[in-house]
Structure 1
Amino acid sequence: MEPPRDAKLLDPTTQPARIRAMYTDPDFVRRGLGRAILARCEGAARAAGFRSVEMMATLAGEPLYQACGYAAIAPVRSAPVEGVTVPLIRMGKWL
């Protein structure tokens, strides 16, 4: 079982906002939904005083995030689930 995520609030003056678990149903890709969700997340982060935002992107999502101004920070691998890890890319953007 995976340990729970830390529930404490982030400090917008010293930490980036985090976008987590954003997925688009394959039947609805390439219709602007991902960009709309991302824009909404970024707007909420700005309104909360954050100056930057980060995420862990899947390889499939990386082109969308790059097109939206995100830059790769570092490649990582997910924690193993039943022995399987997933390649991810930590990405960030200044707001």
Structure 2
Amino acid sequence: MSREKILTMLGFGERSRKIVSGETGCRIAIQKKKAKLLIIALDTAESKKTDFKNLATHHQVPILEFGYKETLGKAIGKSSRSAIAICDDGLAETIDQLIE
């Protein structure tokens, strides 16, 4: 897994408006079936992780636990983020391939 490449792809996704970040934004993207991949920070509280995982599983959105809140936020030019929803098939597939 290329950590730096994934963070770079997240930055590209933010600039092209193909990602949604933060708890509320991710929940809305999942519920509206716009999310193609959900990235949850490793240092997110267990209760929040469980909530996100249950919601994503219910709506059949793949889940990836990656990075830390501060790192994810920095990658997209924002403050720390506990979750990022990828809303583009191509970007989600690219990140998934980088993981393998």
TM-score range, shorter-chain basis?
Answer: 0.3 to 0.5
Higher-Rg structure is: 1
Give the TM-score taking structure 1 as reference length: 0.32
Give the TM-score taking structure 2 as reference length: 0.31
| Greater strand share, structure number | 1
| Greater helix share, structure number | 2
Q: Which has the higher contact order (CA 8 A, sep 6+)?
A: 2
